[in-house]
Structure 1
Amino acid sequence: MSSDINFDLGAGQIEFLTYGIVLAGAGFLVLTGLVKELAPAERRRWMLGVALGTGVLAFTLKIAFVVLFSVFSVPMLDMLATPQKTLAGENSNFAQLNRFRSGTLLPSPYIWQALPHEAPTPTNNPQTPEKIALGENLFFDKRLSYDRTLSCASCHELSINRGGADGLPASVGIYDQQGTRNAPTVLNSAFQRVLFWDGRAASLEEQALGPLVNPIEMGMPSIASVEARIQSIPDYAEKYSSAFPENPVINAENTAKAIAAYERTLITPDSPYDRFVRGDDSALTEQQILGMALFEETGCPLCHSGPNFSEASVFGVTAVYRSFPTISGSDYEEKYQLTDDLGLAANTPNATRGVWRVPSLRNVSLTAPYLHNGSVDSLEEVVRIMATVQLGKTLSEKPEDDQQVNWSTGGRSFQVTRNHALTDDEVDNIVAFLKALSSDPASFNR
């Protein structure tokens, strides 16, 4: 819709403004009348008259300004807004960063946070060096799968170019069985409130045992068979005794605790973004800073908020789940088979179809392909998909598409949404920012 909108005064506003004009006239008459009536000799009474008349005029001007701002609030605020911080000259892209942003659904201002250097730890599973070492051994041990060919690290690679995932659309299990969902990154999973794409595990301890007994992943027939397999490996008896001196038993509970303890060390708090938020102004490029502002302005933090960029994290304040896609009927839906998987509804009775845990965007540039089914190879394409089917944005190079105006008949008011369209350059800027969320995880590899 074109941005050339004529704003008409409502009946109540006309009446209010009329009263203001009448009061202004009355104030003027009072002022002039008092001046004429009172002799200059009576100086104090003359000054009192001037003061009273001026007060009436001032009150009337206040009313007029209230009416003007209620009718023309967005344009007036646009003109009056001033940057709080100048990052570069007026000709720079940074000049856009502090402009007034109407239509945003985020708290103002949105507070950016760096990732903590340590993950939270449950009271019933404190971190110890011995437990972490045991968990690392278990994480990389292929003997824990039925055919002894896969480990946790097979689907959650810690190499520099995998980002804690495996680079496949969907993971491949024992006997080359094809899974149905993309492997989420294990990096920073310690900060998530729920695990798996459908959020069915409430802790790392609960999540750790799932793949071991999944028939198309590591394929062990039961938890008891997992325990028996570990018990048959001589090296583990001493390691479990060191890790759990008060209860040196090779069982499922201790196995899960050890793996979870190791996974809580797999965090990446030193990305360029983290260094920037902590005060290093040189950590991000100009394009990345502009992308960071666009990320906020577009509404991405409605789902990807906080230091782990996920409302499903321990920092989240809303629900851990989101419907995807929120806006149905787009070309993307069929092209990328977005609704073929039931999501949460596959394992939860009466759940809505297509509901998913909000994933973290940490290291997202390293974890292609994307989405729950791994159907999208390009991070630029993912940004376009999310902007349209989740946030209702338009992809356009036309300036007239950048503002959306909606009239509420019931509320008798306009809602003006600026920055409604994303251009290709803006998509590129957001992607540049997303790349700044990646750290080098090579130190975790073995």
Structure 2
Amino acid sequence: MKSNIILFITVGFITLIVILITHKPKVKSNLPVGYNVDDAKLWANARNFYYPLEQNPDELESDLELLGQMLYFDTRLSVNGTQSCNTCHNLDTYGVDNFSTSSGAIEGMQGDRNSPTVLNASLHQSQFWDGRAATLEEQAKGPILNPVEMAIPHEGVLLDRLKDVKEYVELFESSFPEHTNAITYNNVATAIGAFERRLTTRSRFDDFMALDFEALNIQEKRGLKVFLEAGCQSCHDGVALGGVQFRRFGEMLDYTKVAPQINMDEGMYKLTQNPGDLYKFKVPSLRNIEKTYPYFHDGSVWDLEESVDIMAKTQLNKTLSEDDLKHISIFLKSLTGEVSESIKSIPTIPAFR
């Protein structure tokens, strides 16, 4: 009896294997009908490094995000009520102020590094040029208390201001119902971070990576091909095309000799005092790079083609032709995307008392 059962199970298993082998499911190709082979090859090469970014919803979806939006645009977050987060990271100009370096709330105070775009910052592995903040929330805490930026002397000053506004008290309580004391500095940063995670920008390049081969024109595809052949993706990788690695500016050639107008900056070394971090910076995202000029850590270069030329020479030890520089720049413009009007519009901010 036992042997019959074993025989039955064995025969059944073999039959199942035969069925699986002889009845392979047909895998449906995701490639567009009538696709161009060259486009498919270009896409396949790019897919080794990139994947399409999903589009954020057009509306904010929670009280926490709405609170973060209000705080982002509120000048109460600066010592004299003159600056908000949006002052240096203006959502109408692609999350930057288009200055080489930004002025602080106190007259005469000037930052020493270019203000990076806040758009797509949630896709980065860390924040600031030197990566000193691990998260958006940690980053949000920095400028508010920085004496060169928004210059609030200590967090209690800001919290007292917010507690004096009925609308904020109610919105903090609804956003943090589990907290007895909802208005805390951590919660301010949490709300701003929740809002900033909505600031992603899908572009035509994402449509191409989602197999819409007509999303890029011939020149843009040529630019993408040159971009990959040159090795630009060795630094500008990931969904943000940057924001992941830390690389020494001038790995192949001294950047002060290639572009003497760029200020010397010790980079991460200022923070870590590790000799291996000298002149290292976080690789910036290339999304919206067409709009986020001026370029580099000091904002000293205003022309996109010129910045590509400097990068090719200093990081790749390559001198690209004028035609290649032009086409890479054309491709980079396909990375421009938009935040929905409702999300980037200034909300109703409670009046000062």
Task: Tell me the amino acid that sits aligned with residue 171 of structure 1.
Answer: S
Q: Which has the larger radius of gyration?
A: 1
2:189 pairs, out of 241, 251, 256, with: 256
Q: Does 2:242 match 1:310?
A: yes
Per the TM alignment, residue 222 of structure 1 is displaced from its structure 2 partner at its CA by 1.4
Q: Deviations over 1:219-253 (max 9, x none)?
A: 01112222222223332111101111111521111
Distance 1:322 1:137, change over 3 A: same
Q: Deviations over 1:309-330 (max 9, x none)?
A: 0151xxxxxxx31101212345
Alignment-derived partner of residue 330 in structure 2:
432
Alignment-derived partner of residue 377 in structure 1:
302
Q: Deviations over 1:195-224 (max 9, x none)?
A: 001100000110111000011110011122
Q: Does 2:120 match 1:182?
A: no
Per the TM alignment, residue 334 of structure 1 is displaced from its structure 2 partner at its CA by 5.3
Structure 1 unaligned spans of 5+: 1-83, 89-93, 99-106, 120-126, 313-319, 395-421
Q: Deviations over 1:42-69 (max 9, x none)?
A: xxxxxxxxxxxxxxxxxxxxxxxxxxxx
On the 8 A contact 1:144/1:230 being kept in 2, the answer is: no
Per the TM alignment, residue 262 of structure 1 is displaced from its structure 2 partner at its CA by 0.4
**Separation in structure 2 between the aligned mates of residue 266 and residue 332 of structure 1, nearest angstrom:** 37
In the comparison of the two structures, how many residue pairs are matched? 304
1:170 pairs, out of 101, 118, 138, with: 101
Q: Identity of counterpart residues, as a percentage?
A: 38
**Separation in structure 1 between the aligned mates of residue 296 and residue 114 of structure 2, nearest angstrom:** 7
On the 8 A contact 1:158/1:442 being kept in 2, the answer is: no
On the 8 A contact 1:303/1:311 being kept in 2, the answer is: no
Distance 1:108 1:231, change over 3 A: closer
Q: Does 2:270 match 1:346?
A: yes
Alignment-derived partner of residue 227 in structure 2:
295
Q: Does 2:204 match 1:272?
A: yes
**Separation in structure 2 between the aligned mates of residue 332 and residue 222 of structure 1, nearest angstrom:** 42
Task: Tell me the amino acid that sits aligned with residue 323 of structure 2.
Answer: D
2:149 pairs, out of 202, 209, 217, with: 217
On the 8 A contact 1:365/1:434 being kept in 2, the answer is: yes
Stretches of 4+ moved more than 4 A in 1? 330-334
On the 8 A contact 1:135/1:255 being kept in 2, the answer is: yes
For the aligned residue pairs, the C-alpha RMSD in angstroms reads: 2.4
**In terms of mean alpha carbon deviation, does 133-142 or 219-228 score higher?**
219-228
Task: Tell me the amino acid that sits aligned with residue 252 of structure 1.
Answer: Y
Per the TM alignment, residue 109 of structure 1 is displaced from its structure 2 partner at its CA by 7.2
On the 8 A contact 2:123/2:239 being kept in 1, the answer is: no
**Separation in structure 2 between the aligned mates of residue 260 and residue 114 of structure 1, nearest angstrom:** 23
Alignment-derived partner of residue 323 in structure 1:
248
Q: Does 2:43 match 1:110?
A: no
SS in 2 for 1:220: coil
**Separation in structure 2 between the aligned mates of residue 260 and residue 430 of structure 1, nearest angstrom:** 33
Per the TM alignment, residue 306 of structure 1 is displaced from its structure 2 partner at its CA by 2.0
Structure 2 unaligned spans of 5+: 1-34, 347-353
**Separation in structure 2 between the aligned mates of residue 432 and residue 334 of structure 1, nearest angstrom:** 22
Task: Tell me the amino acid that sits aligned with residue 53 of structure 2.
Answer: L
Distance 1:111 1:372, change over 3 A: closer
Q: TM-score, normalised by structure 2?
A: 0.80
Q: How do residues 86-235 of structure 1 correspond to structure 2 at under 5 angstroms?
A: 86-87=37-38, 110-117=48-55, 129-159=62-92, 162-176=93-107, 177-235=109-167
Per the TM alignment, residue 374 of structure 1 is displaced from its structure 2 partner at its CA by 0.1
**Separation in structure 2 between the aligned mates of residue 362 and residue 286 of structure 1, nearest angstrom:** 20
Structure having greater relative contact order (Cα 8 Å, sep ≥ 6): 2
Alignment-derived partner of residue 39 in structure 1:
none
SS in 2 for 1:365: coil
Task: Tell me the amino acid that sits aligned with residue 428 of structure 1.
Answer: K
